[in-house]
Amino acid sequence: MNPEEARLEIKRLEDERLRLAPEVMGGDPAAVAEDRRLERRIRELAGSERGHHPDEAIEPERRDGTGGQRDTKD
């Protein structure tokens, strides 16, 4: 999947999550399960396993390129 296709799929999945929101807020177990599934797929498409989020933010420990590992030498 190219980046543009991924972006469009993320948008579609986010729209689906918004559609489910009233049911999720109402506590519908099926809606909650579907919302979680959609969220996992969005994160997968956005590459969140590498520290990125759908909104293109980067985890603080990834900003410096160390992956959270800091050199402790003085």
Compute the residue count for the chain.
74
The pLDDT of residue 55 is 55
The pLDDT of residue 60 is 54
The pLDDT of residue 36 is 97
Q: Is the pTM of this model over 0.75?
A: no
The pLDDT of residue 66 is 55
Cα dist from 67 to 2, 25, 50, 53, whole Å: 26, 35, 9, 15
Half-sphere exposure of 16 (CA within 13 A, CB side): 17
> Which residues of the chain have a pLDDT value below 70?
48-74
The pLDDT of residue 33 is 97
The pLDDT of residue 51 is 47
